[in-house]
Amino acid sequence: MFFFVVGTVDGAGLFKYHYGLIKALLSIKPFLGAALLLWALYARKCAVFIAHLLRQPHYQFISIFRSLPLRRQYLLFFITDFILLLPQTFYILLVLTEGLYLHLFPATVLVLVFLLACCVLLPVRHVHVLNNPEKKQRFFSQRLTGALPRFAVYPQILIRAVLRTQKLVWLSIKLFTGALLCLMSMNNTLAHDDLQLMFLLFSFGVLANGVFVNHLRRFEEQYLSFYRSLPVPLIRRLAQYACFNILLLLPEAGLLCFLSPAHISVENALALGFYAFSAIQLLISISFVKQMAIKHLVVVLLLLFFGGYFILMASGVGFIGLLFLLLAIILFLTRYYRSETTIS
């Protein structure tokens, strides 16, 4: 669909366009990395789709296939996965063909290995799910909870909630923010950093986490409400949310470290990182003032967005971060125990 929907671009024909695209994909490592990631996500989606179906009551009859030899089960799943991955496989074959033609062997081999891994491993996973319907893959075991310091257990639970219910939203926000940051800082040819524009777009991505924070808070109110009655000091609760915040922002932090000092000064990278942390901390604290419906949340996000930008015109990014953090701490300490789940 992607291949035919794209059509012509800037007067180039369909094949000429994709020829150029594939050439760039094989030549530019970050582009290849991004493409492999997207293909992996697609393959994962297909894998999860089948695994989920196998666990549904309507499809319990498929368990009769357990009576077949493993090789036959593998073959059946191989055909199924091949059909599901056909669009991706078709495009990857084009990539491989062009890669061989252009003698871009390292990238071509990498793509080939990826394709073979998908084709070979996905059926293995599905055979395992068919024969072990009760087992579910767990990324965090009991031992991990026991081994974590007391402080980190609750943030770990929040992160797990994110990974289970909001991972696509999280990933989309990270990709958006990361792409903006990368493109703006790498293409910045001015003598000094054009921080205002970078801040504007970066803060847009950061504040987008607000929708995600709102959802997480609702999850907390529904499934973790008992935590408020437990004897945990308020400062520790604040620090736990800060820890969760830091874990959420690890991709941005990593990217800022990667981009500085070559594309963005260390000072500005630290200021942007600090701003991101304090903005999300403020959003968490605001959620304790009142849980909001989406439309009111959007109003708050816009206020923070424009407020931050106006303050930037008078002072620096560091000051905005400091102000947001101070507000976040004050709001949290005064509102945490007074908050209640009533949607505005």
Query: Please, what is the Cα angle at 169 between 299 and 228, to 5 degrees?
Result: 70
Query: Please, what is the Cα angle at 31 between 28 and 35, to 5 degrees?
Result: 135
Please state the φ and ψ torsions of residue 194, each to the nearest 5 degrees: -85, 80
**Least CB distance from residue 331 to other proteins, whole Å?**
15
Instruction: Supply the DSSP symbol for 293.
Output: -
Comparison of 30 and 233: residue with beta carbon closer to other proteins: 233
**Least CB distance from residue 72 to other proteins, whole Å?**
31
Comparison of 11 and 231: residue with beta carbon closer to other proteins: 231
Comparison of 153 and 257: residue with beta carbon closer to other proteins: 153
189, 194, 200, 205 alpha-carbon torsion, rounded to 10°: 50
Neighbours of 292 (CB within 10 A): 18
Residue 51 one-letter amino acid: A
**Least CB distance from residue 218 to other proteins, whole Å?**
13
Q: How far is CA 148 from CA 216, 223, 315, 336, in A?
A: 22, 21, 41, 25
257, 263, 266, 270 alpha-carbon torsion, rounded to 10°: -60
Query: Please, what is the Cα angle at 107 between 99 and 253, to 5 degrees?
Result: 140
**Least CB distance from residue 167 to other proteins, whole Å?**
13
Please state the φ and ψ torsions of residue 178, each to the nearest 5 degrees: -65, -45
How far apart CA 246 and CA 280 sit, in angstroms, is 10
**Least CB distance from residue 42 to other proteins, whole Å?**
24
Instruction: Supply the DSSP symbol for 224.
Output: S
**Least CB distance from residue 231 to other proteins, whole Å?**
4
Max CA pair span of the chain = 73
**Least CB distance from residue 328 to other proteins, whole Å?**
19
Comparison of 140 and 306: residue with beta carbon closer to other proteins: 140
How far apart CA 255 and CA 248 sit, in angstroms, is 13
Comparison of 159 and 195: residue with beta carbon closer to other proteins: 159
Comparison of 62 and 224: residue with beta carbon closer to other proteins: 224
Comparison of 157 and 198: residue with beta carbon closer to other proteins: 157
Per-residue b/e over 246-257, b at no fewer than 16 CB within 10 Å? eebbeebbebbe
**Least CB distance from residue 330 to other proteins, whole Å?**
17
Sign of CA dihedral 101, 103, 105, 106: negative
Comparison of 88 and 240: residue with beta carbon closer to other proteins: 240
**Least CB distance from residue 232 to other proteins, whole Å?**
6
Comparison of 97 and 145: residue with beta carbon closer to other proteins: 145
Site of interaction with other proteins (CB under 8 A): 136, 142, 145-146, 150, 153-154, 157, 160-161, 164, 219, 222-226, 228-234, 337-340, 342
